[in-house]
Amino acid sequence: MLLSDRRAARKEALERSLFPRRILLATDGSEEAELAALRAIDVAERTDSELHVVHVGVVPSFLRSDPGTRGYDGKLYDEIEEVSRELLRKQTWRVKVAGGAVAGSHLRMGAVDLEIVSLAKELGADLIVMGCRGHRGIRRAIEGSISDAVIRHAPCPVLEVRSHEGAETLERPALSAGGRYRP
């Protein structure tokens, strides 16, 4: 192999590792998810990446058990799945209307963070893009954060997109208070 061929091969490999080839957009229909969709479309276009959209239907814990378990209601599960499928269809359509080329649309049911990470692994995603509501303090401690859980377990980088309101309310003394902390 010639030296110039080696250099070209290295450059190509480096470019592949720097830019995502497959992007997974996780959406829940929120304002933050809409902003994340716009960012995912932009990144996908700029890097010529595949864009996949996923929505995870949240299933109450009593429905995660076996169908024979007391309290299990198959009709309720089916209804949640249908509502989730419709939300995914709408979100996929919005991505297409905004100029995104959707390579795949995926519906998952269960624990949101686990399903997003699982699909990212299955697809071989190079980047996950998702919205973040920016909960802070006690609310975050009690409810937890889906985006934090995805970041901790994801097999690839995660781009977390916040709304403008959430970004402005972050406690960043050096930026928001002119370098001085004001409680």
> Residue ranges of the domains in the chain?
20-176
Alpha helices, DSSP H, located in the chain: 3-18, 31-47, 74-97, 112-123, 137-143, 146-153, 164-168, 173-176
Between helix 146-153 and helix 112-123 the angle, nearest 10°, is 40
Whether 51 contacts 95, CB under 8 Å:
yes
Instruction: Return the DSSP state at 78.
Output: H
CATH, range 20-176:
3.40.50.620
Average of per-residue pLDDT values in the chain: 80
Mind listing the pLDDT tens digit for each residue in 93-151? 999 999 999 999 999 999 999 999 999 999 999 999 999 876 666 655 555 588 889 99
Q: Residue 67 — pLDDT band, cuts 50, 70, 90?
A: low
Instruction: Return the DSSP state at 102.
Output: E
- Say how far apart CA 75 and CA 12 lie, in whole Å: 51
Which residues, listed in sequence order, are joined to residue 102 by a DSSP beta bridge? 51
Q: Which is higher by pLDDT, 79 or 181? A: 79
Which H or E run contains 24? strand 22-26
Query: Which two three-digit tokens encode residue 160?
Result: 């977390």
Question: Pairing relation of β-strands 22-26 and 158-162?
Answer: unpaired
The whole-number pLDDT of residue 115 equals 97
The whole-number pLDDT of residue 68 equals 60
Whether 73 contacts 63, CB under 8 Å:
yes
Which of these, 33, 173, 47, 59, lies nearest to 112 by C-alpha position? 59
Q: Residue 65 — pLDDT band, cuts 50, 70, 90?
A: low
The whole-number pLDDT of residue 72 equals 59
